[in-house]
Amino acid sequence: MTLIWTGNIEDLTRANTTFRTVVRVGEHSELTLMSIEPGGEIGLEVHPNIDQFLRIESGQAQIKAGPAKDDLRETHDVKEDWAFIVPAGTWHNVINTGDEPLKLYTVYAPPNHAPGTVHDTKEDADAAERAEHART
């Protein structure tokens, strides 16, 4: 593995057709591409020990976030060229509100997925997460 990852992140993100593709996992961070179909969502989640940076390359979305699963007190409408940071411990969801796939990339710190992870669909991602939680 090379020490430094380089690539045209905008082109890679726009060309991605999978729900989740992990591009690079390092010791302290992870770069992942996502494509969310119209009306689709990442799904309500929280990362207790992970900060997450997200940038939208194309499409539009609504972000819902808050301190608890049943207290999503913040709502933000975002679109192409917008970025946002979700601090560790924040419940959040990203919902595609447009009529085209939402193309974004995210950086997790520390990493959240195994190197080489690819989930073609949200259903694949959900199944993998259920299997991971069953092992822990």
Structure-model confidence comparison of residues 90 and 115, the more confident one: 90
Q: From start to end of 1-134, where are the E strands?
A: 20-25, 30-36, 51-58, 60-66, 74-79, 83-86, 91-96, 102-109, 118-119
pLDDT band, very low/low/confident/very high, at 121 (cuts 50, 70, 90) = confident
Stated pTM of the model: 0.82
pLDDT band, very low/low/confident/very high, at 136 (cuts 50, 70, 90) = low
Q: What is the pLDDT of residues 46-71, one digit of tens each?
A: 999 999 999 999 999 999 999 999 99
pLDDT of residue 117: 80
Distance, CA of 99 to chain centre = 19
pLDDT band, very low/low/confident/very high, at 135 (cuts 50, 70, 90) = low
Encoded amino acid at 43, one letter: G
